[in-house]
Chain A
């Protein structure tokens, strides 16, 4: 049915969004002014431009310069980078909510800033990010259907092909309903996994409430 393409796209874009988003959040919070400002502008741009425009930019843009990008890669990049901007905001909020005393105590022990961030600040901030992050997960999962706009044959595109044929008119609603169900199941499964992670990582005094 093409749902597998959506799942692959989801995994690719969320991983890209996580890595880039985390780096951007760290830059925004800890890097010197000019760099931090760059990260802010990055976030502002990617959150401000409609996703469809981003998809077209990443798919048709390189073509102008003679570089052919597959629809899948373009979708991962466009949706992944867009998600990184949102994820950066989630991580930034969590990083900034860790009391300054945690950093002071780590530095007083003789840890470098990098050690303090990786052993003290991040383990706490990531736990606090989980609730907001599960929200972003549900959101990007549904975004994968947008990739049909640049011709990626995923589940929405398949559904479109079926329903376009006039003879299939009676199938129009059932097909859409089926697609909706697929996404509902995926959302449920993903959130259940995140919930499990939350439970396993729970630490008294660092609870995250949804």
Chain B
């Protein structure tokens, strides 16, 4: 059974239809990479999955629980779904350790000692144990994004949604964040990643999903998408984006 199922999701902002019937299914341990021109609803799709944005129509299921049902305990569901933002959104007034610990203390209800140990081990996992007492403003963008990944990991999520996690970073800092994500994929974390990093998509994705104008135009394994896309627009987009961003990790 799929871990996450998205069925016929619709969302409009005023006159603009951002999502026009998107269906998607993610298996446990799968890494799905979402690509497409900007403004085609990739980020909106991610936000509709944990209802940070309320979809107009359609369903989202996490295993056998419908997230989109009005009876869903939204806070409980969100605690199971990690979310990594483009601009990190670390809590400005808290140290790296406290950023990772806050959800454990307030949402998971862990004791202080246990939460601290857990948070420290997650910081170590992203290679930032020695920055535990630094505030976000004292960290580089790449470090901030790694802390925010640790914050998501600490909640022991069933899957993590990445919303353009490297788009706000200087080029030389992108590698350290992608490195952490590659490692997570290897460890079997279930992930949906919106990104323009084609090197990452090619080497890590189990499936690449190409979105355009609020619908899924094409999807398939990386090899097929890069070598012989069925939709001409897919090939065009992939060529352009690979030129723009390069394919190196």
Which A residues have a C-beta under 8 Å from some C-beta of B?
Answer: 99, 101-102, 104-112, 115, 119-120, 123-124, 127, 203-206
- Among B107, B138, B148, which residue has its beta carbon within 8 angstroms of that of A111? B107
Contact check, B79 vs A206: say whether CB atoms are below 8 A apart.
Answer: no
Closest 7 pairs (CB-CB, A-B): A205-B137, A110-B79, A105-B89, A101-B89, A108-B83, A109-B103, A110-B78
- Among B77, B93, B107, B136, which residue has its beta carbon within 8 angstroms of that of A123? B93
- Among B78, B87, B136, B137, which residue has its beta carbon within 8 angstroms of that of A107? B78
Query: How many residue-residue contacts, CB under 8 A, span A and B?
Result: 74
Asked if B227 lies at the interface with its beta carbon under 8 angstroms from chain A, I say no
CB contacts (< 8 Å) of B210 on chain A: these are none
- Among B89, B136, B137, B155, which residue has its beta carbon within 8 angstroms of that of A110? B155
Q: How far is the CA of A102 from the CA of B135 in the complex (A)?
A: 15
CB contacts (< 8 Å) of A109 on chain B: these are 78-79, 102-103, 107, 151, 155
Q: Which of A105, A107, A205, A206 has the most CB of B within 10 A?
A: A105
Asked if B15 lies at the interface with its beta carbon under 8 angstroms from chain A, I say no
Contact check, A108 vs B50: say whether CB atoms are below 8 A apart.
Answer: yes
Contact check, A204 vs B75: say whether CB atoms are below 8 A apart.
Answer: no
CB contacts (< 8 Å) of B91 on chain A: these are 102, 105-106, 120, 124
1/0 per residue, CB under 8 A from A, across B79-94: the answer is 1111101010111110
- Among B90, B102, B135, which residue has its beta carbon within 8 angstroms of that of A119? B102
Asked if B52 lies at the interface with its beta carbon under 8 angstroms from chain A, I say yes
Q: Which of B52, B76, B92, B135 has the most CB of A within 10 A?
A: B92
Contact check, A205 vs B79: say whether CB atoms are below 8 A apart.
Answer: no
Closest to A120 in B: B91
1/0 per residue, CB under 8 A from A, across B57-79: the answer is 00000000000000000011111
Contact check, A105 vs B93: say whether CB atoms are below 8 A apart.
Answer: no
CB contacts (< 8 Å) of A112 on chain B: these are 75
CB contacts (< 8 Å) of B90 on chain A: these are 105
Q: How far is the CA of A130 from the CA of B153 in the complex (A)?
A: 35
1/0 per residue, CB under 8 A from A, across B99-116: the answer is 000110011000000000
Contact check, A104 vs B135: say whether CB atoms are below 8 A apart.
Answer: no
Question: Number of B interface residues, CB 8 Å?
Answer: 29
Closest to A118 in B: B106
CB contacts (< 8 Å) of A124 on chain B: these are 91-93
CB contacts (< 8 Å) of B81 on chain A: these are 108
Contact check, B135 vs A204: say whether CB atoms are below 8 A apart.
Answer: yes
Closest to B99 in A: A105
Interface residues of B in 91-148 (CB under 8 A from A): 91-93, 102-103, 106-107, 135-138, 148
CB contacts (< 8 Å) of B92 on chain A: these are 102, 124, 203, 205-206
A-B contact pairs, 6 of them (CB 8 A): A104-B52, A105-B91, A107-B52, A110-B155, A123-B93, A124-B92
Q: How far is the CA of A38 from the CA of B87 in the complex (A)?
A: 35
Q: How far is the CA of A105 from the CA of B93 in the complex (A)?
A: 14
Contact check, A101 vs B138: say whether CB atoms are below 8 A apart.
Answer: no
- Among B50, B77, B83, B136, which residue has its beta carbon within 8 angstroms of that of A205? B136
CB contacts (< 8 Å) of A205 on chain B: these are 92, 135-138
B127 to chain A, nearest CB (A): 21
- Among A104, A119, A127, which residue has its beta carbon within 8 angstroms of that of B106? A119
- Among A108, A127, A203, which residue has its beta carbon within 8 angstroms of that of B52? A108
Closest to A116 in B: B106
CB contacts (< 8 Å) of B102 on chain A: these are 109, 119-120
Closest to A109 in B: B103
CB contacts (< 8 Å) of A99 on chain B: these are 89
Contact check, A110 vs B135: say whether CB atoms are below 8 A apart.
Answer: no
Q: How far is the CA of A120 from the CA of B103 in the complex (A)?
A: 11
